[in-house]
Amino acid sequence: MSGFDRVIVVDWSASKAPSPKVPSADAIWIAVQAGGQTTCTYHRTRADAIGTLCAEFDAAILAGQRVLAGFDFPFGYPAGFASAVTGISDPLALWADLATRIKDADDNANNRFEVAGDLNRLFPGVGPFWGCPAAIADDVLPAKGSTRHGHGMIERRKIETLIASAQPCWKLYTTGSVGSQALLGIARLQGLRERYGATLSVAPFQAPDTPIVLAEVYPSLLAAEIAARQGVDEIKDRAQVRLTAQALASVPGKQLDVMLREGDTEEGWILGVDHEDTLRVSLERAPVPPLKNDCFALPPGVHWTPVDKALAELRQRLGPVVGSETVPVNMALNRVLAADVIAPRAHPPLPNTAVDGYGFAGGKAEGVHDMPVIAAQMAAGRTPDFEVPSGSAVRILTGAALPGGVDTVILQEDVQRTGDRLSFHGPIKAGANTRAAGEDVEAGACVVSAGRRLTPADLALLSAVGVGTISVRAPLRVGVLSTGDELVAPGSDAGPGQIYDANRPMLLGLIDRLGHVGVDLGHVNDDRAALLGRFDDAAARVDVIVTSGGASAGDEDHVSALLNASGHMALWRIAIKPGRPLALGMWQGVPVFGLPGNPVAAMVCTLVFAAPALAQMAGAGWSAPQGFDVPAGFEKRKKAGRREFLRARMRNGRVEVFQSEGSGRISGLSWAEGLVELPDEALHVRPGDPVRFIPWSGFGV
């Protein structure tokens, strides 16, 4: 546990007017992480944000709690600035000085450019502050950094030399306007220092032993991890504060304490630099926010939802529900990548030869060529530690790095070697039979993106660029439950009115093929209490529950009845055949997919709705089925108003459909090799007309 009860992260803003009413980027976002929950709020003005922080601090002090509050702007300036302004090198004396200069009204109107100009006047030459709208630029505060000279200040703090992407604090305008954020931010934080006195300290200028500790943070330290976890429609700034707060809150208390004491006590420091791995691991430990209980609610009055609308709704409402873990690349087949992977090394790392042959410099014109061969030989794996003299050749073997003086290779089969001489016919192009360094992958390039379900080829690529371990999503555990009094287990004796449970093995098989971990939840009778017990048990063990049967609105439809009674369910009446209503609900924070009982409808609804939804929840992103337009080998008329899926297979270049559309015909499912998807409109398909065929593999199974 962290030594802090609350962790707050603030994305600051130097805006000169209130930010838009509708939550937006580049405004102030505050994340408060406490008791395993993260709350994110949007603030239109700095005054409003400070009000919220004071409320948080007051509540914490009252409850005897400790708070860490991180801000994404520099707390200090390059060494020498504080003493040039105040006469002493204490950065907090500079804070007090800046607070007397800055005027920052409740509506964000402020005098930061004037203050920067006044500060510049304390220095010889021009600068160090720069950047402002062209209309107010002058000799004192230039619009361009390049017009500054002779001010004597260092450009970057030490910490900013370690983080190339960090902007220097002298720059007041455009990209990040870090300088303006610091002037306005420090003045506001000085206000907090005055208000909270000895209960508040500022890291790393002061020992972090107080109930409230302020520190400088930089969410981009975890850029890839944050991008991988950003919600579907979440504003980036919100994701940054939310996830940075979660990461910091999960760092063990002792380690966080060490981190807060590190860094330069004059210039300030960014919390967590050089501890990025710790932060990453902490973020993996942080719980994934659960789906909202109302995530399946439907707008009232909607009767038959078109398939595309239903899919768009699901896509928008669902997000990843699994955390992540680090695994070696060779254990990662079929796992879902949790964060983009950047190539640490180029592939190939050095220029090398694609063939066995002889290497030399430059192309050769038409005609016969004759040259000496040096005694050395280059084979794969050897470091190219010698030079081949101009006009000479070297024996070189496939994959070997090109030694100095070699940029062209001739195939061994195309030369005549006699003793230490080589002869061959031109022409040969300069660079022939060689591969350039990085021609496949450049170092620093993103090789595999977050959300990818890793293939054998991906493992090859990751290995080739030198990646040993990666962050992957925890597997999605999908529980499968059959419901209905009529069901008995295959292989047991069945009474005359009973049928064998066919859906469970089918659904577990589909889930396995989709790359998730199927959990067999067995069978329950049409009995509300038994079903409730099974749901409770399942919610503790799985990430998603898939049921079949009992999902309509009839007397014996206990799945929908129970979910309804729990308060979080919607019956999605979707215009699809085969299919009955889908009961989508939440049970103790776990999403429940209530599929129809008919095996054909259950399978079609799984492929069409559950497969992309499960992919989304597994962190693999939405997966649209991949189909092909092929000539029909059948005739069929359909009415307008619903999407139809027919059991189908390809034979002799045409797609044929199963003789019966009866939704109880399991034999047709087994016969089929995919589905034909007919559009919502009325249609008369004649043999030879193009229709959309989606093979099972197009659904990912």
Counting contacts by CB under 6 A, is residue 160 touching ligand AMP? Answer: no
**Which residue lies nearer to Mg ion by CB, 2 or 548?**
548
Phi, then psi, of 660 in degrees rounded to 5: -125, 145
End-to-end alpha carbon distance in the chain:
42
Rounded Cα distance, 345 and 449, in Å: 17
Q: How far apart are CA 376 and CA 420, in angstroms?
A: 11
Tokens standing for 83? Answer: 């003493």
Task: Based on the shown chain and the rule CB under 6 A, indicate whether residue 486 belongs to the binding site for ligand AMP.
Answer: yes
Q: How many residues bind ligand AMP (CB under 6 A)?
A: 18
Residues in the chain: 701
Q: Which amino acid is at 551?
A: A
Residue 50 or 608: the one with the smaller Cβ distance to ligand AMP is: 608
Q: Which is nearer to ligand AMP, 186 or 601 (CB)?
A: 601
Q: What would the DSSP string read from start to end of 567-621?
A: T-EEEE-B-EES---EEEEEETTEEEEEE-SSHHHHHHHIIIIIHHHHHHHTTS-
Q: In the complex, what is the shortest distance from the CB of residue 664 to Mg ion, in angstroms, rounded to a whole number?
A: 13
* Options 168, 581, 599, 612; binder of ligand AMP; rule CB under 6 A: 599
Q: Is 553 in the site for ligand AMP (CB under 6 A)?
A: no
**Which residue's CB comes closest to Mg ion?**
484
Q: What phi, psi does 332 have (nearest 5°)?
A: -105, 10
Which listed option, Mg ion, ligand AMP, none, makes contact with residue 499 (CB within 5 to 8 Å by class)? Answer: ligand AMP
482 in contact with ligand AMP (CB under 6 A) = yes
Of 384 and 550, the one with the shorter C-beta distance to Mg ion is 550
Binding ligand AMP (rule: CB under 6 A), the pick from 597, 612, 625, 695 is: 597
- Minimum Å gap between C-beta 483 and ligand AMP is 7
Question: Residue 515 has which token pair?
Answer: 């790359």
Q: Which residue has the tokens 């455009």?
A: 174
365, burial (CB in 10 Å: exposed 0-12, middle 13-18, buried 19+): exposed
Q: Shortest distance, CB of residue 610 to ligand AMP, whole angstroms? A: 15
Q: Does 33 bind ligand AMP (CB under 6 A)?
A: no
Q: Which residue reads 């069945």 in tokens?
A: 494
Range 485-493, long-range pairs (CB < 8 A, 24+ positions): 485/525, 485/526, 485/556, 487/523, 487/549, 489/523
| Segment (H or E) for 562 | helix 558-566
Kindly state whether residue 560 participates in binding ligand AMP, applying the rule CB under 6 A.
no
CB atoms within 10 A of CB 143: 17
Shortest distance in whole angstroms from residue 487 CB to ligand AMP: 5
502 binds ligand AMP (CB under 6 A): yes
Task: Specify the residue for token string 């499960």.
Answer: 614
Binding site for Mg ion (CB under 5 A): 484, 549-550
**Residue 578 binds to ligand AMP (criterion: CB under 6 A):** no
The item of Mg ion, ligand AMP, none sharing an interface with residue 356, based on CB under 5 to 8 Å by kind, is none
Identified binder of ligand AMP from the candidate list 181, 548, 560, 606, rule CB under 6 A: 548
Tell me how far, at minimum, the Cβ of 557 lies from ligand AMP, in Å.
7
Nearer to Mg ion, 402 or 559 (CB): 559
Chain residue whose CB lies nearest ligand AMP? 597
State in angstroms the smallest separation of the CB of 675 from ligand AMP: 19
Torsion of CA 519, 329, 700, 665, to 10 degrees: -30
Which residues here bind ligand AMP, judged by CB under 6 A? 482, 484, 486-487, 499, 501-504, 548-552, 596-599
